[in-house]
Amino acid sequence: MDKMLFAKNLKIMGLAIAVVLVLSLLGFGYFFVMPDSNNEYPLDTARLSGAPSGDSKKDTDRWGPRRSPAEKYRFKNIEKPDALSLEDRLVKELKELYGDTIFQKSTQAILLKVKKFLMDLYPEDGVDRFHRIIRQAFPEQADEIIGTLAKMEQYNRWLEENKHFLADMNPLERQGALWQKRRELFGVTAKDIWTEEVLAYEKRKQDMRETISLLEESYDTTIEEKIDIYRSTLKQTYDGSPEEYILANKGMLAKVFFGIDSVQEEIKQMTPEERQWEINQIRRELGYTEEQIQKMEEVDAHRNKRWENGLAYMEERGAIVQKYEGQELEEQLQKLRKKYFKHEAKTIRIEEEDGFFRYERERIYGRN
């Protein structure tokens, strides 16, 4: 038994050392984007994502029952801002961080991540919000900044459209093609945008992705160990950085953690009662209040019922497809959709006509 315990501790220690080595390279940066084929190109995929957490209260200064063994990993508490205070805060922080260098193209290009964050947070009017913030923070340079970011977005689209072509080139040819496109869009200022500072930012972001990938494959560690590493990583990445407000978006933080393969693998092995307890505990440790946890548990119960209903439908649908065809098949499916989905039957039919079957998707507990 002692040998088994020693082996487990040694394994955990090895994982922790690996994470510490990675984290030592990190500064501010955003990682809630899975690695893609463009991540070798500086600033090409700089983007943020998020979703409103729905919380307007100040977070409490505790993590819940597991706080004691991970006390050093606590976040600084950040009040969830409303729409107006978020804009005011961004104006203030952008002026403080970039006011002295905003005339430089490299600084202007960095603001692309702020624009993407607002677009993801507010899909309907995120661009307008960003423009309003920029015009308040940097009224004299606003038009130039907006133009620079438009070119950066054009450059990123070009990268996406040509990623396979670029991947087939050798390193020298690829760098030549990249610089040709950069100069085409930015002229002589291209060299100012792709500075060592920006390159280092992209390197840190990639290091962060590698840390998440490490957790993805950590099937031999517990959820408790993973959440401690995850929280410490968030603190290392965002605490005191320009994106510190990300730490207040508990919904987004939970979404990423629940999406880790090794976390889902462990959760799926649990009984429904154990699973809900674990999901509640994860949310608690990410800063949810008890009231929010209770509300999300009700959401989870609703999701469970929908999945049970949907899976039953798919099973019965499969039998009907095997038995009928042509117009008779469509009539039988129409009856079946009404039976299971009532007023949503039309939506399900449209989805299926487009080849999308929502209950063939992967079930990700805590997210859908």
DSSP string, 75-94: PPP-PPP-HHHHHHHHHHHH
Residue 69 near residue 138 (C-beta atoms within 8 A):
no
pLDDT tens digits along 320-366: 999 999 999 999 999 999 999 999 999 999 999 999 999 999 999 99
d(CA 36, CA 167): 12
Q: How far, in Å, CA of 178 to CA of 166, rounded? A: 9
At residue 211, the pLDDT reads: 75
Contacts of 55 (CB under 8 A, 6+ apart): 80, 248, 250, 288, 289, 292
Q: What percent of the chain has pLDDT over 70?
A: 71
**Which pTM value belongs to this model?**
0.51
Can you give the pLDDT at residue 218?
A: 85
Instruction: Give residue 17's pLDDT.
Output: 40
Angle at 214 between CA 60 and CA 231, to 5 degrees: 10
CA nearest to 47, candidates 37, 57, 58, 39:
39
Range from 128-137, 195-204, 208-217, 244-253 carrying the lowest mean pLDDT: 195-204
Confidence of residue 170 (pLDDT cuts 50, 70, 90): confident
Q: Are 357 and 351 in contact (CB under 8 A)?
A: yes
Residues 6+ apart with CB under 8 A from 131: 142, 146
**What is the overall mean pLDDT for the chain?**
77
Residue 246 has pLDDT above 90, yes or no: no
pLDDT of residue 277: 97
338 in Cβ contact with 345 (< 8 Å): yes
Tell me the chain's radius of gyration from C-alpha atoms: 24
- Of the two residues 57 and 245, the one the predictor is more confident about is 245
Per-residue confidence (pLDDT) for residue 59, from 0 to 100: 37
